[in-house]
């Protein structure tokens, strides 16, 4: 396989194997994510979408193969060695993963302080800007328990954005949200790419979001990616798993 231009590729999986005991998740997983693209990842429940995102952050190990993130082979790195990479990659977790005992402001400020930002005015500015961006100005003093599900998801997104990442990983950012909040989050993802050239990897089950957001779409099945192509080509793919998935989703969403 020829080496691609390093400047064009921000994440690369090379023949990655991953199993939990006898539960095989990946066998020979290959993936190349390009700078500035929105790549959507589709796949049935339990196929390993969340596991894939966690491997990109080195939050989960693998059994064979290499994962290269922003030019660094992260295979076998410990937490301290991962730190410089993690600072450049943000993650919006499936369940928002906010600290329940901290206010919205503290939830957003915490990762900044942790990475050494000490200037209080700077912290306040970045938190305020991020909350405005997710359309939640003035919620600084609220606790996560006082927020709706949609608001919590948006705070999770704001927390990731506050850290000015180069890559953002989204684990089902719109699942369980009403259509207005779905549209809001989708538009934020698009605006982040437009404004900052951010690369986004979005795991979703939502077909309208997939069609709206994606530059490319990948389909997980049989312990690997069975199809990855530009959106228009993906929609016409004849790979059986893609057809079955898209047809089932389209039927569900038809009135
Ligand atoms: N820490 C873990 N220990 C053992 N098994 C795990 C662990 N994390 C994930 N798994 C298993 O790996 C498989 C893939 O899990 P994963 O969470 O990535 O699925 P998913 O594709 O994100 O599904 P969903 O769409 O439901 O979120 C599942 O069978 C799950 O039980
Ligand atoms: Mg998941």
- Would you say residue 27 lies in a domain? no
Residue 71 falls in which region: left (phi positive, over 0), alpha (psi -120 to 50) or beta = left
Structural domains in the chain (count): 1
List the residue whose alpha carbon is closest to atom 29 of ligand 1. Answer: 46
46 lines ligand 1 (CB under 6 A): yes
Q: Minimum-distance ligand to the CA of 43?
A: 1
102 lines ligand 1 (CB under 6 A): no
Determine the average pLDDT of the residues in 174-181: 84
- Would you say residue 217 lies in a domain? no
Paired with 41 in beta bridges are 203, 218
- Would you say residue 32 lies in a domain? no
- Would you say residue 94 lies in a domain? no
Determine the average pLDDT of the residues in 193-204: 92
* pLDDT given for residue 118 in this prediction: 87
- Would you say residue 200 lies in a domain? no
Q: Counting Cβ atoms within 10 Å, is residue 252 exposed (0-12), middle (13-18) or buried (19+)? A: exposed
- Would you say residue 111 lies in a domain? yes
In sequence order, the 6+-apart residues with CB closer than 8 A to the CB of 134 are: 154, 155, 157, 158, 161, 184, 188
- Would you say residue 119 lies in a domain? yes
pLDDT band at 177 (very low <50, low <70, confident <90, very high): confident
pLDDT band at 55 (very low <50, low <70, confident <90, very high): very high
- Ligand 1 pocket: which of 18, 19, 20, 61 to mutate (most atoms <8 Å of CB)? 20
45 lines ligand 1 (CB under 6 A): yes
Q: Which domain, by its residues, includes 115?
A: 99-164
Full-model pTM: 0.90
pLDDT band at 216 (very low <50, low <70, confident <90, very high): very high
For residues 201 and 53, the answer to whether their CB atoms sit within 8 Å is yes
* pLDDT given for residue 2 in this prediction: 53
Mean pLDDT for all residues in the chain: 91
53 alpha carbon – ligand 2 mean position (Å):
9
For residues 237 and 205, the answer to whether their CB atoms sit within 8 Å is no
Report pLDDT digits (tens) over 83-142: 899 989 999 887 768 899 999 999 999 988 888 888 999 999 999 999 998 889 999 999
* pLDDT given for residue 94 in this prediction: 75
* pLDDT given for residue 5 in this prediction: 52
């Amino acid at each position: 396989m020829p080496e691609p231009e390093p400047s064009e590729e921000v994440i690369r999986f090379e023949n990655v194997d991953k199993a939990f005991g006898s539960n095989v998740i990946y066998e020979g997983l290959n993936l190349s994510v390009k700078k500035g693209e929105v790549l959507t990842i589709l796949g049935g429940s339990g196929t390993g979408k969340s596991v894939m995102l966690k491997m990109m952050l080195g939050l989960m190990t693998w059994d064979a193969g290499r994962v290269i993130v922003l030019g660094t082979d992260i295979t076998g790195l410990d937490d301290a060695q991962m730190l410089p990479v993690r600072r450049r990659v943000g993650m919006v977790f499936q369940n928002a993963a906010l600290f329940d005992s901290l206010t919205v402001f503290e939830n957003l400020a915490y990762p900044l302080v942790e990475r050494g930002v000490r200037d209080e005015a700077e912290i306040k500015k970045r938190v305020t800007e991020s909350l405005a961006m997710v359309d939640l100005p003035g919620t600084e003093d609220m606790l996560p328990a006082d927020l709706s599900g949609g608001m919590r998801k948006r705070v999770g997104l704001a927390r990731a954005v506050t850290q000015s990442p180069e890559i953002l990983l989204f684990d089902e950012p719109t699942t369980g949200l009403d259509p207005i909040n779905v549209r809001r989050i989708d538009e934020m993802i698009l605006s982040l790419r437009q404004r900052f050239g951010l690369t986004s990897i979005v795991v979703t089950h939502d077909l309208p979001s997939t069609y709206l957001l994606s530059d490319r779409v990948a389909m997980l099945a049989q312990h690997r990616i069975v199809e990855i192509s530009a959106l228009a080509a993906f929609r016409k793919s004849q790979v059986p798993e893609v057809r079955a998935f898209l047809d089932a989703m389209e039927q569900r969403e038809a009135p």
